[in-house]
Amino acid sequence: MDGAREPWWSDATIYQIYPRSFQDSDGDGEGDLAGIVQRLEHVAALGADAVWLSPIYPSPMADGGYDVADYEGVRPTFGTLADADALIAAAHRLGLKVVFDAVPCHTSIEHPWFVERPEFYTWSDRDGPQNNWRSTFGGGAWARDPHGRGWYLHSFYPEQPDLDWRNPEVAEAFGAALRFWLARGVDGFRLDALDRLLKDPERRDDRVRDASSSPVLPEDDAGYAQLEHDRSRNAPDIGTAIAQLRAAAGDAFLVGEVYLRSEQLAPYLDALDTAFSFELFQAPWTAGAVRGALAAAAALGDGRAAWVLSNHDFPRLPNRVGAANVRAAALLLLSLPGTAFVFQGDEIGMADGQGRGPGAEPDDRHGRDRHRHPMVWDASPQGGFTSGTPWLPVNDPGGVNVADQERDPGSILRLYRDLIALRRTALRGPLALLADRAPGVVAFTRGDDHVVALNLGDAPAAAPAAGTVLRHTHDLARSDSAAPGTLAPGEGFVAVRS
């Protein structure tokens, strides 16, 4: 390419680490930064280009660390600033970039700013809620200030007061935090809850959903699902706030978490490198829905959508698409052009767990513990995660674990490795959906040479004409032979035209 080097994130694979649940190094039952360093080889061997770490900052952990009490520190349970420096250096030595999680929408209620800089936050103009806005996690979005200064806005838990991005000093203070980490070697940021940064300046009520547009409504008529959330987020001038984040981050990689349809992402993409396609993430596992989401994201331009099928907020892949489809889901994710994100544990087919167990108080009040169980490294009683008592039980270590799958050429782990290797070396060029394919099948080409096909249906279906298999979802013996004419449910392949 005429000397113009592609940025590192184009077509990259980024591995999401949930630090609390990756590897414990000191026996306290919680994962930590030194533990992550011990396991980076696993990520490098997978072929990933980068790691994204969910928040590691000081936090009262009302929202698993997404309630940040100091943007420029490390939560002691995770380690120290020196440990963060060591992790960044160790990753770089292995050729891995490091992406941190940046949480600009809100701080923890225990952040010193909440007391010292009340003008950084979003206050009601009256002694009570200013409008009908609801918190994502249930209940009204306004709470009475424990310090007696009125009512503040919280788009998420009450322990997470929303910053006011209409105050230029907020952008300045937050930008300083981004630069703090960039100076320590971080290569980019995943930006949390971006559609919440700017709300309607007049703070009008969110519109109530039209019954015709959403037939099934929860009985609670004040519930979150009843509102369009058209005024409590995604203000028309949202791009100005995103541009301030870009100005602070220079040319570092920025991926946005934006819960909007693909066609609404343009103002975000003006300043970001990419934004997650939640349309694909939330699409039901059917050929029609997946094709629709791919087409909508492709309309943004190749590589503008980042692909993700799993993270710490939603049911894991076996629970969402079905255990029989996790291989096809990997094939889809890792064959798409643009940045793709793999959540820790997906590479071994980890399923949701039980959370803390019956009767125990959950860590996350919104019910997400099940998706956050510790990584299972081997078949030992604590799965190699900790020598102590894990903060969430380790799921059935004798079931799926890294060590067993390392030894098994037919494992999901080996499939992830092979697909990531193909992604790096062979799969190039734009995606074009193949119109001519059987019902239940999603098929597309990458560039002129490669064909990807998978069966999302529940009946065998004809495969498109495809040439020679490079990797089949299930059967290694099919490599280098002619692509199959029929795909069983959950089956798929990458092939090269002969």
List, by residue number, the catalytic residues: 192, 257
CB of 14 vs ligand GLC, minimal distance in Å: 15
Q: Parallel, antiparallel, or unpaired for β 97-102 and 188-191?
A: parallel
CB of 213 vs ligand GLC, minimal distance in Å: 24
Q: Which is nearer to Mg ion, 76 or 148 (CB)?
A: 76
**Torsion angle (degrees, nearest 10) of CA 429, 431, 434, 435:** -140
CB of 280 vs ligand GLC, minimal distance in Å: 17
CB of 458 vs ligand GLC, minimal distance in Å: 32
Buried b (16+ CB within 10 A) or exposed e, 285-317: bebebbbebbebbbebeebbbbbbbbbbebebb
- Closest-by-Cβ residue to ligand GLC is 66
Q: Which is nearer to ligand GLC, 120 or 493 (CB)?
A: 120
Q: Which residue has the tokens 């490198």?
A: 273
302 interacts with, out of Mg ion, ligand GLC, none, CB within 5 to 8 A per kind: none
CB of 31 vs Mg ion, minimal distance in Å: 6
Total residues interacting with Mg ion, rule: CB under 5 A: 5
Distance CA 68, CA 107 (A): 5
Is the distance from CB of 31 to CB of 376 less than 8 angstroms?
no
What is each CA distance from 364 to 31, 200, 392, in whole angstroms? 17, 29, 11
HSE, CB side, 13 Å, CA atoms: give it for residue 420.
23
Q: Which is nearer to Mg ion, 338 or 390 (CB)?
A: 390
Using CB under 5 A as the binding rule, whether residue 449 contacts Mg ion is answered as no
Q: Which is nearer to ligand GLC, 42 or 106 (CB)?
A: 106
Residue of 141, 110, 148 whose CA lies nearest to 127:
148
Q: Which is nearer to ligand GLC, 106 or 450 (CB)?
A: 106
CB of 51 vs ligand GLC, minimal distance in Å: 16
369 interacts with, out of ligand GLC, Mg ion, none, CB within 5 to 8 A per kind: none
Residue of 177, 174, 63 whose CA lies nearest to 109:
63
Q: Which is nearer to ligand GLC, 149 or 365 (CB)?
A: 365
Query: Which structure tokens are listed for 338?
Result: 């643009």
Distance CA 269, CA 306 (A): 11
- Closest-by-Cβ residue to Mg ion is 32
Buried b (16+ CB within 10 A) or exposed e, 27-48: eebbbbbbbbbebbebbbebbb
30 interacts with, out of Mg ion, ligand GLC, none, CB within 5 to 8 A per kind: Mg ion
192 interacts with, out of ligand GLC, Mg ion, none, CB within 5 to 8 A per kind: ligand GLC
313 interacts with, out of ligand GLC, Mg ion, none, CB within 5 to 8 A per kind: ligand GLC
Q: Which residue has the tokens 């950084």?
A: 120
* Identity of residue 403: A
Distance CA 460, CA 442 (A): 13
Query: Which structure tokens are listed for 301?
Result: 């331009």
CB of 97 vs ligand GLC, minimal distance in Å: 20
121 interacts with, out of ligand GLC, Mg ion, none, CB within 5 to 8 A per kind: none
HSE, CB side, 13 Å, CA atoms: give it for residue 488.
7
Is the distance from CB of 227 to CB of 134 less than 8 angstroms?
yes
Q: Which is nearer to Mg ion, 26 or 230 (CB)?
A: 26
Q: What x-and-dash track marks residues 32-61 binding Mg ion by CB under 5 A?
A: x-----------------------------
193 interacts with, out of Mg ion, ligand GLC, none, CB within 5 to 8 A per kind: ligand GLC
CB of 257 vs ligand GLC, minimal distance in Å: 6
383 to 422, contacts with Mg ion by CB under 5 A? none
Binding site for ligand GLC (CB under 6 A): 63, 66, 103, 156, 192-193, 257, 312-313
Residue of 58, 40, 57, 52 whose CA lies nearest to 95:
40
> Where does residue 47 fall: left (phi above 0), alpha (psi -120 to 50 degrees), or beta otherwise?
left
Query: Which structure tokens are listed for 263?
Result: 């066609």
First vs last C-alpha separation in the chain: 26
Distance CA 341, CA 353 (A): 21
Task: Name residues whose C-beta falls within 8 Å of residue 63's C-beta, 6 or more positions apart in sequence.
Answer: 156, 157, 159, 160, 364
Q: Which is nearer to ligand GLC, 164 or 257 (CB)?
A: 257
Query: Which structure tokens are listed for 16?
Result: 């999401």
Q: What x-and-dash track marks residues 17-36 binding Mg ion by CB under 5 A?
A: -------x-x-x-x-x----
28 interacts with, out of Mg ion, ligand GLC, none, CB within 5 to 8 A per kind: Mg ion
32 interacts with, out of Mg ion, ligand GLC, none, CB within 5 to 8 A per kind: Mg ion
CB of 179 vs ligand GLC, minimal distance in Å: 21
Q: Which is nearer to ligand GLC, 55 or 390 (CB)?
A: 55
User: Would you tell me which residues interact with Mg ion (CB under 5 A)?
Assistant: 24, 26, 28, 30, 32
